[in-house]
Chains A and B, each alone.
Chain A
Amino acid sequence: MCGLGGFINKDGKKVDGTAITTMGGMMEARYDERGGGFAAYGIYPNHSDQYALHLLFDDERAREATEEYLKDRVNIVKDECIPTASVKEIAPVHVPWRYFIDVPEDFEAVEADFLVDTVMKINGSIPGAFVISSGKNMGVFKATGLPRNVAALFKISDYKAYAWSVHGRFPTNTQGWWGGAHPFNILDWSVVHNGEISSYGTNKRYLEMHGYECKLRTDTEVVAYLFDLLVRKHGLSAEVACSIMSPPFWKNIDRSDKREYYEALRMTYAPAMLNGPFAIIVNNKDSMIAFNDRIKLRPLIAAELGETTFVASEEAAIREIEPELDRVWAPRAGSPVIARLNNAGGK
């Protein structure tokens, strides 16, 4: 069991981290103190053209090794310790750091692949260093602790974003550690997840064949990589990606007038299907996508107010920040909620 929530303002209007912290706080019955985190979009307007790498270091040596590695590969425009407050509930076992980087011109054509490769290399081969996010003008903040304490630790209320997500974790498959908290991220994809990916082994090996390395010791990671593969690399829409990961049943496909279309999707992308109980919120710079497993074994509620779309494990979490809503609904299994910026590409 976990608690998750998120919202996006389709006009790109930004709010600070107070509301999302409140949203997460309403669902404390759903998680414990073994992992909390936030994703925020639009928080680095002064560095919006650079990739923001958020890292967790175990020690100074890990930081030096990472810096050596990055210097050889990319142009570091700026780097700094991510500001934190002292929170008594969370021991500072990692040093959070951020780099704003430019990819060298030689690699511009394959910029995103180059960056994925860079992240994979750091996570796979530099001991004590973990990249927790790597998108532009966005960032992930996470640690072992309740979401409200993680919010305090990272001073979440100081950031302003047009899209936010929150996650409180009740880990049951892998042990709690900072890197294992949600959101999981690659480039500007970030994922929060309630449930278990029972098809993990199949998904992981499919992703490995496409050059992704699943090193973070938890199942949710595969969702971020699948979105990156399907949407960014294969050029599929978010709708198609969702119907690959949570496809209609054959009995429905067989009597659908789009039989050939869905059959091709399921045949081609069978190893990308996510199986097991889940509710997932996926963000990228342009959109927020929320969807369930095929038989809806985890709760997910959606709501709209004006140009803002909300999703959460519990309606109470949404009502707590916006008591009056235009519309509230429980998305059906296999029917994703997709909210896009009206001016996609906006900051």
Chain B
Amino acid sequence: MASFPPKFKVLVDKEVCTGCLKCTLQCPFDVHIYDKEGFKASGKDKDERKNFIVRNQENCVACQRCVFTCPVKCIQIEVRPPTYNPHPVWTDAVRRDLKTQSDTGGVLLAAMGNEQPYPSYFDRLVIDACQVTNPSIDPLREPMELRTYLGRKPEKLEFEDNGTSLKTQLAKNLKLETPIMIAHMSYGAISLNAHKSLANAAAEQGTFMGTGEGGLHKDLYHLADSIIVQVASGRFAVHEEYLKTGAAVEIKIGQGAKPGIGGHLPGRKITEPISKTRMIPVGSDALSPAPHHDIYSIEDLSRLIYAIKEATRYKKPVFVKIAAVNNSAPIATGIIRAGADAVVLDGFTAGTGAAPQVIRNNLGIPIEAAIASVDQRLRDEGIRHWGSIIASGSMRSSGDVAKAIALGADAVYIGTASLISLGCTVCKQCFTGKCAWGIATQDPNLTKRLDPEVGARRVSNLIGAWSHELQEILGALGLNSLESLRGNRDRLRGVGLSQTELDVLDVLPAGR
């Protein structure tokens, strides 16, 4: 007996249903089950087959796969109204968690970002606009520049030959045509088709995709100029060619969804091609330790940064990713001083394929506060140009991107948004490996549902659309280049924030 009532109602319009059985083939969660034997035994007409589909409502995760694939659109999923006697402290969600944990005795697993109702600072920041004195600019008629360079910049330039030729040698930077990159999601956590879609979209938009810590499948090496390869604590898939192939290397220390926690890809997801890419045996669990076992201090990190730089002949920028935590500002300056070309800040609402729920819901700080404090700290130390700031963690729209940049970020990563673009409905079952949309799964029957060409077009559309919207925002601000918005907190105002919060974000309240 289940410990709690089903969360969703599966409603089927029997008048409309044709009994085609598509839902029974599409649902990976065993909600729609066809009782073939029963139907045969009944000797009934084919028209009656629809009455032999059993609906196991308790298995439903509201992924909507059946709803979208039903040829006659006769299925509807509804949230069941709360069934427990209401209580403000012991909410339904709390009671479900307690019962689940009592069933299994285990750590509760969760997927996607933090679900606690913390306030969003993005939602309490508004963007300025021009009226009269500084004319707004129409991006359809005037150039509007989003190009961004990530990496170390010199403090100043020196010239020779009477100022005509450049003497200063610039460090290798990544050139982005839009400040929106695709976040690190590993091949293993997501399917090869998903990786292909994202990599092609990044290449098409002149931006970059992160590999995550699962390495890069050989089929994607031809797109490596648009790919940032990751080195994480498990060191899966890390070899010389991998490092040299990517456009940049990112060392992952932590991630926003699970600060201080490693990763766990279950053995059943380690199929043959994943085993080859990750360089681990088929079927073995891929466990990433919480810390890197060769990094116990900032000086250890510096060694790894320079080991990678040596291995790549100083031709690849090296980024370091951390979860946004209380001490992000001094940690980030340490990272930049340790030699990193960019620091990636991952906020506490960042997504994941699997994390302990208690970690995901309770650890870390909002990305907005981390961007503001890291940017200011680097300036206070006079080293803002030494490295770039990349922000990630639940960027929901181009508005969030513009605000992140105005607070001080150079660029952002989008993860969940790009998956939603591919078809994800945020049903939060990534860790089950049963993704009905072919994204977070390695089951060949499921992964084939994602056509990488269609996927690439959709994600490219999304990034292109956000880029157009960023241009509109810049135009409204009277700016024709993104660099004039970067760190320009003057063009933000806070609504409904305390003075302390305004001070942290370094923005004025609306009306002032």
Judge if A45 is at the interface, Cβ distance under 8 Å: no
B403 to chain A, nearest CB (A): 13
Q: Contacts A201-B490, A209-B379, A295-B137; is A261 near B165 (CB within 8 Å)?
A: yes
| Inter-subunit contact B134/A276 (CB<8 Å) | yes
B452 to chain A, nearest CB (A): 30
Instruction: Pick the contact of B170: A196, A239, A250, A264 (CB < 8 A).
Output: A264
Which residues 471-512 in B have Cβ within 8 Å of A in the complex?
477-481, 483-491
Judge if A236 is at the interface, Cβ distance under 8 Å: yes
Judge if A152 is at the interface, Cβ distance under 8 Å: no
Judge if B159 is at the interface, Cβ distance under 8 Å: yes
C-alpha spacing A294/B143, complex, angstroms: 10
Judge if B153 is at the interface, Cβ distance under 8 Å: yes
| Inter-subunit contact A199/B135 (CB<8 Å) | no
Instruction: Pick the contact of B153: A173, A240, A268 (CB < 8 A).
Output: A268
Judge if B163 is at the interface, Cβ distance under 8 Å: yes
C-alpha spacing A208/B487, complex, angstroms: 12
Tell me which residues across on chain A come within 8 A of B362, comparing CB atoms: none
| Inter-subunit contact B480/A196 (CB<8 Å) | no
Tell me which residues across on chain A come within 8 A of B382, comparing CB atoms: 209-210
Instruction: Pick the contact of B479: A239, A250, A261, A275 (CB < 8 A).
Output: A275
Judge if B168 is at the interface, Cβ distance under 8 Å: yes
Judge if B79 is at the interface, Cβ distance under 8 Å: no
C-alpha spacing A237/B382, complex, angstroms: 24
C-alpha spacing A266/B477, complex, angstroms: 20
Tell me which residues across on chain A come within 8 A of B487, comparing CB atoms: 201-202, 205-206, 271
Tell me which residues across on chain B come within 8 A of A239, comparing CB atoms: 163
Judge if B149 is at the interface, Cβ distance under 8 Å: yes
C-alpha spacing A261/B164, complex, angstroms: 9
Residue among B149, B154, B157 having the largest count of chain A Cβ atoms under 10 Å: B157
| Inter-subunit contact A295/B480 (CB<8 Å) | yes
Q: Mark A212-242, 1 if CB is under 8 A from B, else 0.
A: 0000000000000000000001111101100
Instruction: Pick the contact of A198: B163, B170, B477, B489 (CB < 8 A).
Output: B477
Count of B residues near A, CB < 8 Å?
41
Which residues 237-280 in A have Cβ within 8 Å of B in the complex?
237, 239-240, 249-251, 260-261, 264-271, 273, 275-277
C-alpha spacing A275/B136, complex, angstroms: 12
Which residues 90-133 in A have Cβ within 8 Å of B in the complex?
none
Judge if B133 is at the interface, Cβ distance under 8 Å: yes
Tell me which residues across on chain B come within 8 A of A275, comparing CB atoms: 478-481, 484
| Inter-subunit contact A276/B132 (CB<8 Å) | no
Which DSSP category, helix, strand, loop or mixed, fits chain B's interface? Answer: loop
C-alpha spacing A144/B147, complex, angstroms: 42
Q: Contacts A275-B480, A295-B142; is A202 near B485 (CB within 8 Å)?
A: yes
Count of A residues near B, CB < 8 Å?
42
Tell me which residues across on chain B come within 8 A of A267, comparing CB atoms: 149, 153, 170, 173
Tell me which residues across on chain A come within 8 A of B486, comparing CB atoms: 202, 270-271
Q: Mark A285-316, 1 if CB is under 8 A from B, else 0.
A: 00000000011010000000000000000000
C-alpha spacing A267/B479, complex, angstroms: 17
C-alpha spacing A271/B384, complex, angstroms: 11
Judge if A178 is at the interface, Cβ distance under 8 Å: no
| Inter-subunit contact B143/A199 (CB<8 Å) | no
Judge if A154 is at the interface, Cβ distance under 8 Å: no
B486 to chain A, nearest CB (A): 6
A262 to chain B, nearest CB (A): 10
| Inter-subunit contact B145/A249 (CB<8 Å) | yes
C-alpha spacing A312/B58, complex, angstroms: 77
A267 to chain B, nearest CB (A): 5
B114 to chain A, nearest CB (A): 30
C-alpha spacing A233/B158, complex, angstroms: 12
C-alpha spacing A329/B10, complex, angstroms: 75
| Inter-subunit contact A265/B157 (CB<8 Å) | yes
| Inter-subunit contact A249/B143 (CB<8 Å) | yes
Instruction: Pick the contact of B130: A198, A208, A295 (CB < 8 A).
Output: A198
Tell me which residues across on chain B come within 8 A of A210, comparing CB atoms: 382
Judge if A46 is at the interface, Cβ distance under 8 Å: no
Count: A-B pairs, CB below 8 Å? 109
Considering the complex, give the chain A residue whose CB is closest to the CB of B478: A198
C-alpha spacing A173/B385, complex, angstroms: 30
| Inter-subunit contact A268/B490 (CB<8 Å) | no
Judge if B156 is at the interface, Cβ distance under 8 Å: yes
| Inter-subunit contact A237/B163 (CB<8 Å) | yes
B487 to chain A, nearest CB (A): 5
Residue among B158, B382, B484 having the largest count of chain A Cβ atoms under 10 Å: B484
| Inter-subunit contact B134/A196 (CB<8 Å) | yes
Judge if A200 is at the interface, Cβ distance under 8 Å: yes
Tell me which residues across on chain A come within 8 A of B481, comparing CB atoms: 273, 275
Instruction: Pick the contact of B156: A200, A208, A268 (CB < 8 A).
Output: A268
Tell me which residues across on chain A come within 8 A of B159, comparing CB atoms: 236, 240
Residue among A260, A266, A275, A277 having the largest count of chain B Cβ atoms under 10 Å: A275
Judge if A172 is at the interface, Cβ distance under 8 Å: yes
C-alpha spacing A200/B488, complex, angstroms: 7
| Inter-subunit contact A276/B479 (CB<8 Å) | yes
Which residues 69-104 in B have Cβ within 8 Å of A in the complex?
none
| Inter-subunit contact A268/B170 (CB<8 Å) | yes
Tell me which residues across on chain A come within 8 A of B137, comparing CB atoms: 295
Tell me which residues across on chain A come within 8 A of B489, comparing CB atoms: 201, 205
C-alpha spacing A237/B158, complex, angstroms: 11
Considering the complex, give the chain A residue whose CB is closest to the CB of B134: A196
Instruction: Pick the contact of B483: A200, A209, A270, A277 (CB < 8 A).
Output: A270
Tell me which residues across on chain A come within 8 A of B173, comparing CB atoms: 267
Judge if A180 is at the interface, Cβ distance under 8 Å: no
B176 to chain A, nearest CB (A): 12
Judge if B454 is at the interface, Cβ distance under 8 Å: no
Judge if B295 is at the interface, Cβ distance under 8 Å: no
C-alpha spacing A251/B153, complex, angstroms: 22
| Inter-subunit contact A260/B166 (CB<8 Å) | yes
Judge if A182 is at the interface, Cβ distance under 8 Å: no
Tell me which residues across on chain A come within 8 A of B145, comparing CB atoms: 249-250
C-alpha spacing A85/B488, complex, angstroms: 43
Tell me which residues across on chain B come within 8 A of A200, comparing CB atoms: 488, 490
Tell me which residues across on chain A come within 8 A of B480, comparing CB atoms: 275, 294-295
Which residues 300-337 in A have Cβ within 8 Å of B in the complex?
none
C-alpha spacing A195/B479, complex, angstroms: 13
Q: Contacts A209-B379, A250-B145; is A268 near B157 (CB within 8 Å)?
A: yes
A208 to chain B, nearest CB (A): 7
Which residues 163-191 in A have Cβ within 8 Å of B in the complex?
172-173
A344 to chain B, nearest CB (A): 15
Considering the complex, give the chain B residue whose CB is closest to the CB of A202: B488
Judge if A193 is at the interface, Cβ distance under 8 Å: no
C-alpha spacing A252/B98, complex, angstroms: 62
Tell me which residues across on chain B come within 8 A of A10, comparing CB atoms: none
Judge if A54 is at the interface, Cβ distance under 8 Å: no
Residue among A204, A205, A239, A273 having the largest count of chain B Cβ atoms under 10 Å: A205
Tell me which residues across on chain B come within 8 A of A273, comparing CB atoms: 481, 483-484
C-alpha spacing A210/B382, complex, angstroms: 7
| Inter-subunit contact A261/B478 (CB<8 Å) | no
> Other than the known A208-B379, A264-B157, what 12 A-B pairs have Cβ atoms closer than 8 Å?
A198-B134, A198-B491, A201-B490, A204-B490, A205-B488, A210-B382, A251-B143, A268-B170, A270-B153, A271-B486, A273-B483, A276-B134
A-B contact pairs, 15 of them (CB 8 A): A198-B130, A198-B134, A199-B488, A202-B483, A205-B487, A233-B156, A234-B157, A237-B163, A249-B145, A264-B157, A267-B149, A268-B170, A275-B479, A295-B137, A295-B142
